[in-house]
Amino acid sequence: MITRAGLPAVVALASLTFALAPANAQTQLDDTERLLEELVNAHGVVGFEGEVRRILRREWQDLVPDLHTDGIGNLLGTFKGDENASGPKVLLMAHMDEVGFLVRYIDENGFIYFNNVGGYFPQSVLTQRLSILTPNGRVIGYTGMKSGHILRASERNEMVPLERMFIDVGASSREEVQRMGIRPGLPIAYETSFVKLGDTGRYLAKAWDDRIGLAVITEVLQSLGAHPNQVQIAATVQEENGLRGAAVVDASLHPDIVINLEIGIAADFPLMTSPALSQEALGNGPGIFIFDNSMIPNNQYIDWILSTADRHQIPTQFESVSGYGEDGAQLQRSSTGIPSVNIGIPTRYGHSQSGIIDRADYDNTVKLVRAMIENLSAEALTRIRTFE
């Protein structure tokens, strides 16, 4: 059963899949890949970050003795041994939540309607496997649509809005859906898992935004050298619906300077023809955000980061994106104004079912953050804060 127009493509796809299967097979994963795999596979839709928080508690509890949550769900603390240091308080921050959906209602025939939490291009949501997190575990369903056999000509070019999409979990009635443990309000994420793309050094997965930032923080804490500073960490909640968790981080930690870690918007694939939209490319190093909708960073801080990267021969690239906001902005406007920067690990296809990152960018981001912490001094902070 295939559409006539689709015949050659289907045949070509079948042989392509056959040819690629061995190259994409999961080989042995190293420690970093295992951490990334666990973090991206976790179910952590906005407001339901529990699975991610549990992984981080396990990873961070020995490194951050005062690890604790605040009332909104952020995970916070100060790096072991730094509590009595005299240098500036440097906050490393990344968010735990991922863009996703919430069950809105279940109709009498057992189809589930949903709303989005976080920004989506609706077309990317159709014909996807999604996973609903229930008290009994994950229930997998599918965002169905009319088969190509019965689409009207006028429908072929039409965008289906989110409110007309539904999830089919195989049930025939509302009661059957309820017996699966599904009720309105439960979180829905894409059902997909980490793939190491052969030996390209690139990885495919959902939720790089922002599990990759959390992985960078974890690896920095594990490998940090001697430094005079007080390193603080914040894994925030509800970034994707308006930077809400980050809004209360200052009340607990009072940092002096902030390094926010995020995905960057890679533009190195077909159809991305204008550097006016975004500029990053995989493999060219961490992206230093000089502009986004939420924040213009302290320019003295940017210059200090660039010279630190130069001295340590770490490649960096600039990133300037409108239509992008990040947690660092909330800290910049907290207290008396805290110098903040957003550093993005270049990622293709953000806010869709999956994205692709490059391991070299990840490793260079870990190196850069470590170099920043090890090189920051009270004098450098004063120069940044006085704009001199």
Closest CB 203 distance from Zn ion, rounded Å: 17
Stretch that binds Zn ion, among 199-207, 209-217, 228-236, 364-372 (CB under 5 A): 209-217
Closest distance to Zn ion from the beta carbon of 327 (Å): 8
Residue 97: CB minimum distance to Zn ion, A: 8
Length of the chain equals 388
Please give the full DSSP string across 304-343, using - where no structure is assigned.
HHHHHHHHTT---EEEEESS---THHHHHTSTT---EEEE
Minimum CB–partner distance for residue 318 and Zn ion (Å): 19
Burial tier of 290 (Cβ tally within 10 Å: 0-12, 13-18, 19+): middle
Output the six-digit token pair for 136.
């009994």
Residue 74 is encoded by which pair of tokens? 């952020």
Whole-number minimum distance, CB 306 to Zn ion, in Å? 23
Three-state DSSP class for residue 258: strand
Draw the binding track, 165-204, toward Zn ion (x: CB under 5 A; -: no contact): ----------------------------------------
Select from 210, 250, 292, 361 the one that contacts Zn ion (CB under 5 A): 210
Q: Position of tokens 């450098």?
A: 380
Nearest to 343 by CA among 295, 275, 382, 277: 295
- Indicate if 239 belongs to the active site: yes
Sign of CA dihedral 381, 385, 387, 388: negative
Compare residues 82 and 327 and give the one whose CB is closer to Zn ion. Answer: 327
Q: Report the residue number, 210 or 358, with the smaller CB distance to Zn ion.
A: 210
Q: Give Cβ neighbours of residue 34 (< 8 Å, ≥ 6 apart).
A: none
Determine if 209 is a binding residue for Zn ion (CB under 5 A). yes
Catalytic residue (one of 49, 59, 219, 239): 239
Provide the strand spans (E) within 198-333. Answer: 202-205, 230-236, 257-265, 287-292, 317-321
Judged by beta carbon, residue 191 or residue 262, the one nearer Zn ion is 262
88 versus 245: smaller Cβ distance to Zn ion: 245
Determine the residue type at 369: V
Q: CB of residue 209 vs Zn ion: minimum separation in angstroms?
A: 4
What number of chain residues touch Zn ion (CB under 5 A)? 3
What are the CA-CA distances from residue 141 to residues 133, 144, 149, 310 (Å)? 11, 9, 22, 49
Smallest CA-to-CA distance from 102 within 72, 134, 124 is with: 134
Closer CB to Zn ion, residue 17 or residue 322?
322
- How far, in Å, are 241, 284, 317, 362 from residue 344 at the CA level? 19, 12, 10, 10
In the complex, the smallest distance separating the C-beta of residue 36 from Zn ion, rounded to whole angstroms, is 16
With CB under 5 A as the contact rule, which of the stretches 174-182, 217-225, 256-264, 279-287 interacts with Zn ion? 256-264
Contact stretch for Zn ion (CB under 5 A) within 61-69, 147-155, 262-270, 279-287: 262-270
For Zn ion, the closer of residues 209 and 280 by Cβ is 209
Q: CB under 5 A: which stretch of 47-55, 255-263, 297-305, 330-338 binds Zn ion? A: 255-263
For residues 262 and 361, which CB has a smaller minimum distance to Zn ion in the complex? 262
Distance CA 203, CA 271 (A): 21
**CB 276, CB 134: distance < 8 Å:** no
Upstream peptide bond of 310 is cis (omega within 30 degrees of 0): no
- Nearer CB in complex with Zn ion: 209/361: 209
CB of 348 to Zn ion, least distance (A): 15
Buried b / exposed e across 206-226, counting CB within 10 Å, b at 16+?
bbbbbbbbbbbbbbbbeebee
Run of H or E including 360: helix 359-375
Catalytic residues: 239
Binding site for Zn ion (CB under 5 A): 209-210, 262
